[in-house]
Structure 1
Amino acid sequence: MENPPESTYCGKCATRLDSSREPGEPLPSVTQTLHAAPEELGTGSTFAGRYQVIEELGAGGMGRVYKVHDTKIGEKIALKLLRSEATLDRNSLERFSNELKLARKVRHKNVCQMFDLGEAEGTRYITMEYVRGEDLRQLIRKVGRLSPGQAVAVARQVCDGLAEAHRLGVVHRDLKPQNIMLDEDGNARIMDFGIARSLSGEGITGAGAFIGTPEYMSPEQVEGKDVDERSDIYSLGVILYEMVTGRRPFDGETALSIAHKHKYETPEDPRKLAAEIPDSLARLILKCLQKDKAARYESAQALNADLALIEGGLPTMEKALPKRKSVTTRDITVTFNLKRLVVPALAVLAVAAAVIILVKVIGGKKPSPAAPPSSGKASLAVMYFENQTERPGLDKMAVTLLTTNLSRNEDLEVTSTQRLFDILKLLGKQDARTIERSLATEVATRAGVKTMLTGSIIQIGGRIRLTAELIDVKTGSIVGTQIEDGTKYDDLFAMVDGITEQVGKQLGGGKSVGGLKVADVTTSSLEALEQYQKALDLMMRWDNPSAANLLKKAVEIDPKFAMAYAYLAMAQLSTMISVFDPYTDLTEAKNTLELAKKYSDRATAGERIVIQMTEALLNRDITNAAGFGRELLARNIPAKWAGMSILNEHWRRREFQEGIRMAKKMIENDPTAGNAYNGLAYCYAYLNDYPAAIAALNKYIAVHPDDPNTYDSAWEISLWAGKYDEAFRYADEALRTHPAWIWYEGHAGLALIHKAQGEAARERFRRLERDSPAWRGTAAFYLGLSYLSDGRHREAQTEFLRAPGLAQENGQKRNEMMYWFFLGEAFLIQGNVGQALAKFEGAEKASAQYYEHDFNPVPLTRRLYAGRAFLRQGRIDQAVSAAEEISRVIKDRGLPAEFLDFRFLLEAEISLAQNKPEDALRTLGRASFFARHSSPHFWRAKAAAEEIQGRWDLAADCYRKFLGIITLANEEFYDPVRYFYELSMADYNLGRIAEKTGNAAAAKDHYQKFLERMRAADPGIPEVADARKRLAALGS
């Protein structure tokens, strides 16, 4: 049967029909294989004059693999012989060589190192690291399937290796269990980087063929489209699926049938095959297996971050791999069996448009370039340097050093690295491995500079050359070239000094500025600088924990590295919000910053201001922090927290319009500034402009879709606005797009509580407890809140009693401590003062296990809660004594004035007990913004004071705070038990207020809502009986 002329594929064997084939030329078969190399090496023989053969490890489509002793370096390595050169054309060999040169740069503990491609005795060969162990395929066959914890542990290591390879531009393209080695130390090692990509050309496989293993190929590989790191993410998703279920998502009789399934069929939910798989892990796997690569994780780092969250919720005992015997690399699958590797390539072209979408979302038009600096100084951006040495990262180190040193020249205005990174983010190029001249020009134009500095670092024999070019941004012409030479990598510092002087002289009107030695304001250690540089890259991506580890290494190498200490202090602080949390111990960050101050003579003038601003923040001195922030911005130094320090000052002063202006200015300077969108949204929310707040948050989500805070803020402000369905939608959307964000199960449940759907909420909390052992304490506590809000206090108490023990089991000392407080509050609500006081004391005892330094605010909290308990018993004198003790503890421990909020909250309740509502209101007026923002006791006391004085509208406004201002349950001075109890009573209280104002219809509506919520409440709750009585009197 002949194929019709218009056919693309053979109707019999599915081989692609090549239209360029000459008449009579035979068709390449889909089952075509690469012939094995004819050479066979005997044990004890020597190959290429240096490789003594120890044993043969395996044979496959590419040839044979041997374990050899390299006599030149004195180590065991693996040697892979390729088929003879006659079957590889020149272009294929050149491409193969280039790919392996690139793959050779991947050096990571989770990657098997590729060494070289060589030729000897008429045979091509590859040398690589020899690894002793077994491959993942063997392990799966031996144990059937891995536990979720074991699978996640392996996958995380693979992600680490992939991340490093992808950073260097290397995509594996044939990731599979056979290519993942588990060595004797338990490390996962990725094998054969660079080979599959090298084999994808026509010279090796024939036209229309594609290299890859069908069972693990991404849909775009099946179609023959361009692939990137997301193709490796897909393959890793298949491997994860196989690890936890014991089978692959797609199998078939032929390579083509399997490829077809990858392209068109939906994989079965892995939970149907293994019920013990957590929902979060199943969702993560299915996200990796999305057909559209844009819907997958965008990077190995993003995938690894979610895996880490899932791993944290799994029992520790699950994470160890099964014991295995040691085997040699003979057991690694080294074959490239092209019966399964080659499938027809479907030629379909796809174009990615993520940047266009981003620009549309955040403003609908292309952002305009920034206005040029108005100082009159020469403006400069140090853009990029090409690294042509064998030392990775030398290019970024050069950029950092040049930016730092040139910024010391008073005649120059140098744009910060952070600012340039922010512009790259806006363009969607923050992860670009190389920056072309056109992109550099675009970034410099947007930065508003007139000149940019680019260049290269070249290693020629024993010499290192640093070449820099000054380029006029507007015309593109080179206005100056600078060259410095060295003999070793450590000469980079001196070479930067030389370039600094030459650039300064040229841009400074011929004036020479000598003596600016960059080591004086950074470090003289290249190793310390390398750790510091990597840490800065991570901090720009908000990965503070990883950055902190690198910065600790930097200061170990150079104990006088001032800015490494400064950034370490910031990383230890984690987020700026931490300074507002009264329970966060800032001692470690303060101690670190003291070292930055000690060595601050080794920092630039601008960096010293950054140190001062950080110190003010750590001292919770918001006013001075904002002052330093303004000084930094006035000097055109856009430090990471400068704008936020100013915005937080406006927030604290309740200057929300000023805050809006500041946030908009931050966004104008950096349209990707997520914290600015967040601050803008909360300013709008405090002005009750919820549509504007949600619009800002939707832009925040669009700009930073992988930041969990985006959805958290949208969820929270939706609750503020009373849009409970929207809050629930944001929580579910977060779970759908990021399966590892398991805490959003809790968010969804809390939204359902606000909707008076207690049983539906409990379903979400039970799922959280079932699937995430690390969240069991939180889930139990949330279950208690759901029962409490339904008036089922006995069941609530049962769940609250479970929470501290579960937190203790998981080593969550802060949670354990706070659960004791909240449990005591639950007893206090029921009138059991003795039990309440005992729980408050238990919280203080637990705090001694939590805090490692002298800082401990829990004695203040205990006195606040105990004082309120005393008032419940009518013991006003003891409550007054508790308030006085709060002031004494603050003074003795040198705590900031903000901690007086604990006293003000107690004194307000004392005034109410004394029937002095005006005194209560005056005392509440002395409390900080943060108490107003986050304490349910503040609003409960204010509601009572306003109601006593007959100010019904003001009292009603206070009671409405408990219908969605969720910050009263989860931030700073929070108390979720008090908040959700008041939520359960809100309609009852609002009904009473409506009655007093003569609004019978509103009163009836509130009482009906209250009684509907309380339909299964415990008997004996007086408000329930009173609501029924009042409703009857209103003529329901």
Structure 2
Amino acid sequence: MTDPQMIGHYRIVKLLGVGAMGKVHAALDTFLEREVAIKSLRAELTQDPDFVGRFRAEATSLAKLNHPNITTLYSPVLEGNDLYMVMELVNGRPLDEILRERGKPLGVKESLAVIAQAADGLAYAHQMGVIHRDIKPSNLMVADDGRIKIMDFGIARVRGSVRLTRAGTAVGTPLYMSPEQCRGGEGDERSDLYSLAVVLYEMLAGAPPFSGATEYDLTQAQIHAEAPPLVPRISGVTPELESAIMTALSKRPEQRFPNMRSFSDALGATALRIDASSIVRSAGHLVQDSTAERDVPTPEHMSTKLIALAKSRSATLVRRFKRLHPAAQGASLGVAAAALATLAFLALIEPSSPARDERQTRTDSGDGDHRPISRVNDEPLQPRGDCNSQFATRNDPLGCNWRQPSSSSSSASIYDLRAAMKDRGRWDIAFPLAQKLAESGDKEAQYHLATLYAKAPGRQNFSEAFNWFKKSAMQGYADAQASLGVMYKDGMTPDGRQDPTEALRWFQQAETQNNGRAQYWLGEAYEKGLAGLDVSRSKAEELYYKASLQDVPDAAEALQRIKRRRGRR
């Protein structure tokens, strides 16, 4: 007699969810002894060629993809007339459930950390010729480790394949569908880009940009309506961020960004990619805690707010102008000129920033010890500090601490590099300094150059970041070893593959130098039994404790979590 709890050599453990097409169960692969998810098509739909074709299309799409931010297909299973997909089991919660439970917008940083990962996965899928066509919060899973996983490629289209839907038939979810999809078009990479922009808008504003009493009203809004502005009503949204979102929400695909990577760059999300999973951390973090609630906004001068508002409205006018018929554009130039004149006037009355006007040449350490401030291009920089991600915090992502001067032959210049790295506004100054020093073999400069390639807006290049982190790590620079481990862990390698064993090796090397960030990730590896390690909560607790002493973000929370579990035993 057939065991109803078995599908091939997979033992069903529990039901995870039910959808329109079928069910998803958690199961155990009895051969490899690993947890998996099994997606099945409803029995009555196995006789419908359209649904079977769609099910097979999803398997075909997923079979082409291998990326840390996309659920992995292990194998399809055909048992009798039943079709199954055996997939990676993602422990976490879908984004829509998190937003619903939270009941308020996410902070800008968390929102961009979600988008950075989703955009990375979609950019890879597009490169492989796969268009998702149904990007929405319920198809973005927030895993327990903070990683975003793109789910459900059920209506995905492989470029060049035979279409599964009739011409003129809309596919997708109306609340997130692009205008061309609403009209029944196939959609391309820019359709996924539009849908992801709708998701980002919803995370920031608490609701999608378009709504309607009926599905028809909603699709008409997607086709014709303009999204309400975010500046100044949403705290933390800059005119530049708003402009990037509104460009992605353009009604005509050719007016959007050309690809997912350029959208992510314009948002400033790509710069967060290396730390994105740490920023998100977990579904529970997004529900219970976020920078939107923790951070107290710095009071802004009224003229600063007016300038932001003027920039926002000027950008809106420019976008509207571009959509006009050429005959109507001339009549609109006067309006645009007036807005620009207002912006220029506000800029004139904005008081100068004290930090820029100050022309200090010395600083007091508090005990009468005066130290010179480094200068680049005759601009005062910060005191000689070392930007070290081991001590990163949310307000100071590079973690600037004090160190003894470098013993390298270029020590006089490394001070300028450290100071420039401390201020993101000076990263354009830091880049040529870092490049020159890194090419001379300075391991600290190599680490900073890698950081710039990973985080600096407009310069993101993860392959270059990986290569420079590795060069610095090979010379024994602990911060670079920890960062290289993160890149191996999260699959930000040149070939896009995760390598937990290499990640563990570099974390272990950095930990021998008492690197706090490596201690944190090693603690997680021991807590979860990653990369072949035996689970050891005592070892994890010890490592989390060491990391917490160095104020590594999340280490104290992880330590308390371990202690609570120990207390329950």
State the TM-score, normalized to the length of structure 2.
0.51
Cα distance in structure 2, aligned partners of 1:81 and 1:272: 47
Contact 1:102 1:170 in 2 (8 A): yes
Q: Which residue of 2 aligns with 1:211?
A: 171
**Residue 271 of structure 1 aligns to a residue in which SS?**
coil
Cα distance in structure 2, aligned partners of 1:208 and 1:312: 39
Contact 1:64 1:80 in 2 (8 A): yes
**Residue 270 of structure 1 aligns to a residue in which SS?**
coil
**In structure 1, which of residues 223, 238, 252 is the aligned counterpart of residue 198 of structure 2?**
238
Contact 1:153 1:311 in 2 (8 A): no
Q: Which residue of 1 aligns with 2:98?
A: 139
Q: Does 1:97 align with 2:97?
A: no
CA root-mean-square deviation: 4.8
1:238–1:851: structure 2 CA closer, same or farther, 3 Å change rule?
farther
What are structure 1's unaligned runs of at least 5 residues?
1-41, 328-728, 738-754, 767-778, 785-795, 809-814, 825-838, 862-893, 895-1036
**Residue 267 of structure 1 aligns to a residue in which SS?**
coil
Q: Which residue of 1 aligns with 2:374?
A: 817
CA deviation after TM superposition for structure 1 residue 298, in Å? 1.4
Q: Which residue of 2 aligns with 1:190?
A: 150
Identity percentage of aligned residues: 29
Equivalent positions of 1:156-195 (< 5 A) are 156-195=116-155
1:47–1:226: structure 2 CA closer, same or farther, 3 Å change rule?
same
Contact 1:132 1:326 in 2 (8 A): no
Q: Which residue of 2 aligns with 1:854?
A: 409
Q: Which residue of 1 aligns with 2:211?
A: 251
1:801–1:218: structure 2 CA closer, same or farther, 3 Å change rule?
farther
Cα distance in structure 1, aligned partners of 2:83 and 2:179: 32
Higher relative contact order (CA 8 A, sep 6+): 2
Q: Which residue of 1 aligns with 2:41?
A: 82
Contact 1:45 1:52 in 2 (8 A): no
CA deviation after TM superposition for structure 1 residue 277, in Å? 1.7
Cα distance in structure 2, aligned partners of 1:802 and 1:62: 69
Cα distance in structure 2, aligned partners of 1:268 and 1:207: 32
Q: Which residue of 2 aligns with 1:286?
A: 246
Contact 1:250 1:267 in 2 (8 A): yes
Cα distance in structure 2, aligned partners of 1:65 and 1:140: 22
Cα distance in structure 1, aligned partners of 2:247 and 2:286: 35
CA deviation after TM superposition for structure 1 residue 317, in Å? 13
**Residue 175 of structure 2 aligns to a residue in which SS?**
helix
Cα distance in structure 2, aligned partners of 1:269 and 1:804: 43
Cα distance in structure 1, aligned partners of 2:249 and 2:363: 39
Q: Which residue of 2 aligns with 1:590?
A: none
1:326–1:780: structure 2 CA closer, same or farther, 3 Å change rule?
closer
CA deviation after TM superposition for structure 1 residue 119, in Å? 2.8
CA deviation after TM superposition for structure 1 residue 112, in Å? 0.8
Q: Which residue of 1 aligns with 2:67?
A: 108
Contact 1:242 1:249 in 2 (8 A): yes
1:802–1:262: structure 2 CA closer, same or farther, 3 Å change rule?
farther
Cα deviation 1:671-710 (Å, max 9, x = unaligned) = xxxxxxxxxxxxxxxxxxxxxxxxxxxxxxxxxxxxxxxx
**Amino acid across the alignment from 1:54:** V
**Residue 56 of structure 1 aligns to a residue in which SS?**
strand
CA deviation after TM superposition for structure 1 residue 272, in Å? 4.8
1:190–1:821: structure 2 CA closer, same or farther, 3 Å change rule?
same
1:816–1:137: structure 2 CA closer, same or farther, 3 Å change rule?
farther
Q: Which residue of 2 aligns with 1:615?
A: none
**Residue 139 of structure 1 aligns to a residue in which SS?**
helix
Equivalent positions of 1:804-953 (< 5 A) are 817-818=374-375, 821-822=378-379, 853-855=408-410
**In structure 2, which of residues 2, 5, 25 is the aligned counterpart of residue 66 of structure 1?**
25
Cα deviation 1:908-933 (Å, max 9, x = unaligned) = xxxxxxxxxxxxxxxxxxxxxxxxxx
CA deviation after TM superposition for structure 1 residue 76, in Å? 1.7
Cα deviation 1:449-494 (Å, max 9, x = unaligned) = xxxxxxxxxxxxxxxxxxxxxxxxxxxxxxxxxxxxxxxxxxxxxx
Contact 1:847 1:856 in 2 (8 A): no
Cα deviation 1:310-351 (Å, max 9, x = unaligned) = 8679x9999455761899xxxxxxxxxxxxxxxxxxxxxxxx
Contact 1:145 1:245 in 2 (8 A): yes
Contact 1:283 1:736 in 2 (8 A): no
CA deviation after TM superposition for structure 1 residue 60, in Å? 1.7
Cα distance in structure 2, aligned partners of 1:271 and 1:326: 23
CA deviation after TM superposition for structure 1 residue 186, in Å? 0.6
Q: Which residue of 2 aligns with 1:1032?
A: none
1:50–1:271: structure 2 CA closer, same or farther, 3 Å change rule?
same
Equivalent positions of 1:363-378 (< 5 A) are none
1:162–1:318: structure 2 CA closer, same or farther, 3 Å change rule?
closer
Contact 2:115 2:200 in 1 (8 A): yes
Q: Which residue of 2 aligns with 1:123?
A: 82
Report runs of 4+ in structure 1 exceeding 6 Å deviation.
201-207, 315-318, 763-766, 802-805, 842-852
Contact 1:76 1:130 in 2 (8 A): yes
CA deviation after TM superposition for structure 1 residue 293, in Å? 1.2
**Amino acid across the alignment from 1:52:** R
Equivalent positions of 1:501-520 (< 5 A) are none
CA deviation after TM superposition for structure 1 residue 88, in Å? 5.3
Contact 1:100 1:195 in 2 (8 A): no
1:278–1:225: structure 2 CA closer, same or farther, 3 Å change rule?
same
**Amino acid across the alignment from 1:324:** G
1:151–1:758: structure 2 CA closer, same or farther, 3 Å change rule?
closer
Equivalent positions of 1:458-469 (< 5 A) are none
1:763–1:77: structure 2 CA closer, same or farther, 3 Å change rule?
farther
Q: If you compute each CA radius of gyration, which structure gives the higher value, 1 or 2?
A: 1
**Amino acid across the alignment from 1:74:** E
**Amino acid across the alignment from 1:125:** Y
What are structure 2's unaligned runs of at least 5 residues?
288-310, 320-340, 366-371, 387-400, 417-439, 441-569
1:48–1:289: structure 2 CA closer, same or farther, 3 Å change rule?
same
CA deviation after TM superposition for structure 1 residue 253, in Å? 2.4
Equivalent positions of 1:717-736 (< 5 A) are none
Equivalent positions of 1:223-372 (< 5 A) are 223-308=183-268, 319-320=279-280, 324=284
Higher normalized helix content (fraction of residues): 1
**Residue 231 of structure 1 aligns to a residue in which SS?**
helix
**Amino acid across the alignment from 2:263:** L
CA deviation after TM superposition for structure 1 residue 113, in Å? 1.1
CA deviation after TM superposition for structure 1 residue 780, in Å? 5.3
Cα distance in structure 1, aligned partners of 2:199 and 2:351: 30
**Amino acid across the alignment from 1:103:** L
Contact 2:171 2:184 in 1 (8 A): no
Cα distance in structure 2, aligned partners of 1:120 and 1:178: 29
**Residue 244 of structure 1 aligns to a residue in which SS?**
helix
Contact 2:116 2:270 in 1 (8 A): no
1:279–1:87: structure 2 CA closer, same or farther, 3 Å change rule?
same
Equivalent positions of 1:981-996 (< 5 A) are none
**Amino acid across the alignment from 2:265:** A
CA deviation after TM superposition for structure 1 residue 163, in Å? 1.4
**Residue 130 of structure 2 aligns to a residue in which SS?**
coil
